Amino acid sequence: MPVPAATTPPAAAPAPTSGLAPAREPAWARPREPAQRVVLVTGGSRGIGAATVRRLAAAGYLPVFTYRQEAKTAQALVEALRMQGQVAHALACDVTLPGALEALFAQVDGIGPLVGLVNNAGILGTIARVDDLAQEDVSDVFACNVTAVFETSRLALRRLSTRHGGPGGSIVNLSSGAARTGGSVEMVLYASSKGAIDTFTLGLAREVAAEGVRVNAVAPGLIDTEIHARAGQPQRLTTLQSSIPMGRAGTADEVAQAIVWLLSDAASYVTGSILAVAGGR
């Protein structure tokens, strides 16, 4: 019998070259962007916002988050997710500036169709008795914690509501346990702004319930984030921990899990709810 001719094995693919500036990252090494599941998170570079961005990315959403000043922190979060094969977009935005939110939503439109909004950006503001507050103190807190939430929600509804040709979606607002208690001494201003968010959440949920949009809020209690230290009260966690039935402060990730659940189809019959994540306090 004739002996078959020897065949030459196919050449192995060349090994990737190393260098300080590779021409192009191979396609398999680049994270894939989830299709059509964009969720906008305001104030997402740290604390509860950053934890929410991480949870959204892990759940297969494409989180787009804003930051005001901390560009390095925001980009570090984006890079950390990229190293895990996940995608997020960080956009600079001061939610209190005129026209800033219109420009923000135009950028989001260029990334993909919106399916959800997390109104997380907020400030404690001046910590003082009411009779020691200036009018500017009140205006600053309500501009960030209330007015901006109205505006982001308005712009989101024009993209989500079936009344405007949208597919439906979900909005989650960040309230606070302070809305129920009135805030501790010298925090009435902050508590009042969050009380407004509770009312807004309930009213808007009923207004758009038949338009495919669910609106809920999460009301964190005492949470271990840097917000207390940044407000000049680093001892606040230790001082108030004994008042919590569970005996400890919560974590940003525990709040984030509640937010992502409210955004998801698992909460498809939940709207107008204010979910306390407060350890029983």
Please enumerate in sequence order all residues whose Cβ is within 8 A of that of 208, keeping only pairs 6 or more positions apart, or say none.
Answer: 157, 161, 163, 215
Pair 174, 220: CB distance under 8 Å: yes
From 61, 67, 190, 269, the catalytic residue: 190
Q: Note whether 70 and 81 are within 8 A (CB).
A: no
Length of the chain, please? 281
Query: CA quadruple 263, 274, 201, 187: dihedral positive or negative?
Result: negative
224 is written with which tokens?
């271990």
The reply to whether 269 belongs to the active site is no
Residue 156 has which token pair?
């989101």
The answer to whether 155 and 101 are in contact (CB under 8 A) is yes
Q: Give me the phi and psi of 112, to 5 degrees please.
A: 165, 170
Write out the catalytic residue numbers: 190
